[in-house]
Amino acid sequence: MFDTHELGRRPGAQQRLTRTVDAPKDFGIDGVIGVPEGAPLELEVRLESVMEGVLVTGTARASAKGECVRCLEPLDLEVDADFQEMFSYPDADDRSRVTAEPADDAEEDEDRLFLEDGLFDLESVLRDAVVLALPMQPVCQDDCPGLCSQCGARLADDPDHHHDAVDIRWAALQGLAGTIQDGEKDEMSGAEAGVDEKQEK
């Protein structure tokens, strides 16, 4: 929660704040990358008094934790998220309601944030800004080669890693041989099961 009482209501007044807060829950993209709950969230905020409320501009910095989408290595990422939001005075809204078109007003109200007793809550604004600043597909390094499609080894650890083309064909043949053997085993076990049945009778 931020307090605007010190700022006052004189349009043009400005106040700068620096604050470190604990990151709330669910601060990121679920299951992909996010700022862990309780991790420090450094805020630089500028409050600016305008006619209808307080314009809040700022930057949030935090360290997000996630996993590389290519090689699944854990990764840390510094997030730098800019935000800007208008918090209106509740009474200023009453004044604008008189002049505004009813339809426009209803639409605006949905997204509009208000000061409550001179206080405002930045949590949802910060969450949106941080989520927007995070990559949907985080990678440990821009050119992460990912995992070997054949054996699952992490290619960044082993740049020379490769399998010979001959190996691939041989593997396919081995797979085929395995299938034939499985078929024979099935017939065998069927015969065995028949024997068991006879013995039981």
Instruction: Kindly list the residues in this chain that would bind Zn ion in the complex (CB under 5 A).
Output: 68, 70-71, 140, 144, 148, 150-151, 153
Question: Contact 144/154 with Cβ under 8 angstroms?
Answer: no
Q: How far is the CB of 140 from Zn ion (least distance, A)?
A: 3
Name the token pair of 62. 């935090």
Q: What is the distance of C-alpha 200 from the center of its chain? A: 62
Q: How far is the CB of 174 from Zn ion (least distance, A)?
A: 16
Closest Cα to residue 142, out of 61, 75, 60? Answer: 75
Q: How far is the CB of 58 from Zn ion (least distance, A)?
A: 32
For Zn ion, give the closer residue by CB, 101 or 143. Answer: 143
For Zn ion, give the closer residue by CB, 51 or 168. Answer: 168
Closest Cα to residue 132, out of 84, 88, 195? Answer: 84
CA angle 81, 87, 88 (to 5 degrees): 160
For Zn ion, give the closer residue by CB, 118 or 145. Answer: 145
Q: How far is the CB of 134 from Zn ion (least distance, A)?
A: 16
